[in-house]
Structure 1
Amino acid sequence: MSTQIPKPSLGVLHMQEGVKKFQLNRHAPSAELAFFVKHYWIVRWDLTGEEAYPQLVVPNPCVNLVVEPGRTACFAPGKTTYSHLLQGQGCVFGVKFHPGGFYPFIKQPISELSGRPLGVEMVLSASGEELETAILGQPDEGAMVERMESYLQARLPMQDAQATFVQQVVERISEDRELTKVDTICHYFKVHKRTLQRLFDQYVGVSPKWVIRLSRLQNAAEAIDTGQHHDLLQLSMELGYHDQAHFIKDFKSVVGQTPDAYTRAVAGSAPVS
Structure 2
Amino acid sequence: MADADALPSGPRSDTKGIVDAAGLLARARFRRHPAAPALRPYVEQYWLIDWDLSQPYASHVVPHPSVNVVFQSLPGQEPFAEVAGIGLDLFTQKLEGRGRVCGVKFRPGGFRPFAPARPVSAWTGRRLLPLEEVFTEVPEGALDAVLSPDEEHARVAALDAFLLAVGPAPDPRADLAMSLAERIRTDSGIRRVGEFARAEGMSVRTLQRLFSAYVGVGPKWMILRHRIHEALEHAETGRDVDWADVAGTLGYADQAHLIRDFTATVGVPPTAYGPQH
State whether TM-score is above 0.5. yes
For residue 6 of structure 1, report the CA deviation from its aligned partner.
Answer: 5.7
Aligned to 2:61: 57
Q: How many angstroms apart in 2 are the aligned matches of 1:215 and 1:114?
A: 17
Structure-1 residue corresponding to 2:245: 234
Distance in 2 of aligned mates of 1:89 and 1:55 = 15
TM-score normalised per structure 2: 0.88
Match of residue 10, structure 1, among 9, 13, 16: 16
After superposition, the C-alpha distances for 1:210-268 in whole angstroms (9 at most, x for unaligned) are 00000010011012213476111111111111221111111111111111121xx2xxx
* 1:132 partnered with 2:132: no
CA RMSD of aligned residues (A): 1.9
**SS at 1:114's partner residue?**
coil
The equivalent residue for 1:149 is: 160
Partner of 2:119: 109
Check 1:143–1:228 CA distance in 2 against 1; reply closer, same or farther (3 A cut). Answer: farther
Structure-2 separation of matches of 1:78 and 1:139? 29
Aligned partners of 1:4 and 1:25 also within 8 Å: no
| Equivalence map 1:29-68=2 (5 Å) | 29-47=35-53, 49=54, 51-68=55-72
Work out the CA distance in 1 between the residues paired with 2:113 and 2:125.
20
Match of 2:217 among 206, 227, 232: 206
The amino acid across from 2:229 in the alignment is: Q
- In 1, the alpha carbon distance for the partners of 2:119 and 2:11 equals 30
Give the Cα–Cα distance (whole angstroms) in 2 for the partners of residues 217 and 258 of structure 1. Answer: 11
* 1:125-204 matched pairs, under 5 angstroms: 125-126=138-139, 130-204=141-215
State the alpha-carbon separation in 1 of the partners of residues 120 and 10 from structure 2: 28
Q: Which runs of 5+ in 1 are unaligned?
A: none
The question of 1:222 aligning with 2:233 is answered: yes
CA contact (8 A) 2:88 2:125 kept: no
Evaluate the alpha carbon distance shift between residue 6 and residue 112 of structure 1 in structure 2; reply closer, same or farther with a 3 A threshold: closer
Residues of 2 paired with 1:229 and 1:37: CA distance? 36
Aligned residues: 260
Q: State whether structure 2 residue 35 is matched by structure 1 residue 26.
A: no
- The one-letter amino acid paired with 1:54 is A
1:68 match: secondary structure: strand
One-letter amino acid of the counterpart of residue 59, structure 1: P
Question: Post-superposition shift, 1:26?
Answer: 0.5
User: Which stretch shifts more, 21-30 or 220-229?
Assistant: 220-229
Mapped contact 2:10–2:34 kept (Cα < 8 A): yes
* Aligned-partner SS, 1:200: helix
SS at match of 1:72: strand
Aligned partner of residue 102 in structure 2, secondary structure: strand
Check whether the contact 1:57–1:83 (CA below 8 A) recurs between aligned residues: yes
Structure 1 counterpart SS, 2:16? coil
Return the TM-score normalized by structure 1: 0.89
Where in structure 1 do 4 or more consecutive aligned residues deviate above 3 Å?
A: 3-6
1: CA distance, partners of 2:207 / 2:259: 28
Moved more, 183-192 or 56-65: 183-192
Report the alpha carbon displacement of residue 132 of structure 1 after superposing the two structures with TM: 3.1
**Distance in 1 between the 2:89 and 2:71 partners?**
21
Identity %: 35
Contact 1:11/1:59 (8 A) holds in 2: yes
Determine if contact 1:169/1:185 at 8 Å carries over to the other structure: no
Query: How far is 1:77 from its partner?
Result: 0.5
